[in-house]
């Protein structure tokens, strides 16, 4: 499946397919709704939450290298990510789930 989503840095064919399946058909739609709402759509569509994927999407739309996210910016994005995951799931993450999610290992 070809998509202009892959013209955005850091978005490859697998991510493009996931975005399309979540109702984001092209780069214009992704830019219009932004990384946070796009990630919400991915979660609602059944995607597994993974913080790295969240901030890579944010960096991609800013035209920055995926690994440019660091320090206070990364911490702020982590809070937004955790809040989004909890909102989509309808409950806050606690205990072992919160810790496994923090390190990117928790199953959805």
Q: Measure the CA–CA gap between 3 and 43, rounded to whole angstroms.
A: 20
The answer as to whether 13 is a domain residue is yes
Whichever domain contains 34, its CATH number is: 1.10.150.20
The answer as to whether 107 is a domain residue is no
For the entire predicted model, the pTM comes to 0.78
The answer as to whether 50 is a domain residue is yes
8 A C-beta contact, residue 22 and residue 42: yes
Whether the pLDDT of residue 108 is over 60: the answer is no
The answer as to whether 108 is a domain residue is no
Task: Please give the residue range of the domain that contains residue 96.
Answer: 4-102
Confidence of residue 1 (pLDDT cuts 50, 70, 90): very low
The answer as to whether 32 is a domain residue is yes
Whether the pLDDT of residue 65 is over 50: the answer is yes
pLDDT digits (tens, 9 = 90+) for 72-104: 999 999 999 999 998 888 755 556 666 776 777
pLDDT digits (tens, 9 = 90+) for 11-24: 999 999 999 999 99
Number of domains in the chain: 1
Q: Measure the CA–CA gap between 52 and 30, rounded to whole angstroms.
A: 18
């Amino acid at each position: 499946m070809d998509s202009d989503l892959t013209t955005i840095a850091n978005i490859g064919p697998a991510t493009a397919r996931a975005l399309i399946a979540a109702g984001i058909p092209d780069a214009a739609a992704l830019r219009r709704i932004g990384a946070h709402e796009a990630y919400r759509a991915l979660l609602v569509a059944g995607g597994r939450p993974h913080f790295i994927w969240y901030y890579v999407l944010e960096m991609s739309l800013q035209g920055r290298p995926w690994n440019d996210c660091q320090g206070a910016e990364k911490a702020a994005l982590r809070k937004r990510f955790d809040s989004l995951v909890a909102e989509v799931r309808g409950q806050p993450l606690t205990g072992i789930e919160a810790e496994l999610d923090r390190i990117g290992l928790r199953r959805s």
